[in-house]
Amino acid sequence: MQIESILMVLIIGALAGWLAGKLFKGRGFGIAGNIVVGIIGAVIGGFLFGLLGVTAGGFIGSVVMATIGALVLLFIVSLIKKM
């Protein structure tokens, strides 16, 4: 993986994690937390979008997909915490 690709993954992860944090609980998780939530969210979002047959291209599409996946992740974590 090239350095530009790694940098883009980190940027998209940070942005998606921050957006999901803002939408779900009103604040972010710090830069490292945002990146982790966003990257895991991107994997979940890619899986869900694939199941639905939806594609997301480009920077904006990647951020939207990762943010939706991150929101799903945060929702599942909140359900587990309530148990």
Query: Residue 28 pLDDT > 90, yes or no?
Result: no
What pLDDT shows up at residue 65? Answer: 94
Domain extents in the chain: 3-82
* Gyration radius from the chain CA atoms: 12
pLDDT tens for each residue of 32-76: 888 899 999 999 999 999 999 998 889 999 999 999 999 999 999
Query: Residue 9 pLDDT > 80, yes or no?
Result: yes
Which pTM value belongs to this model?
A: 0.89
What pLDDT shows up at residue 27? Answer: 72
pLDDT tens for each residue of 32-44: 888 899 999 999 9
Q: Which residue has the tokens 């972010």?
A: 28
Query: One-letter amino acid identity for 35?
Result: I
The residues, ordered by sequence, that sit 6+ positions from 13 with a Cβ below 8 Å of its Cβ are 34, 35, 36, 37, 38, 39, 41, 42, 66
Strands of 12-70 (E only): list them. none
The larger pLDDT score, comparing residue 26 to residue 57, is at 57
Q: Using an 8 Å Cβ cutoff, are 47 and 29 in contact?
A: no
What is the distance between the alpha carbons of residues 12 and 34, in angstroms, rounded to a whole number?
10
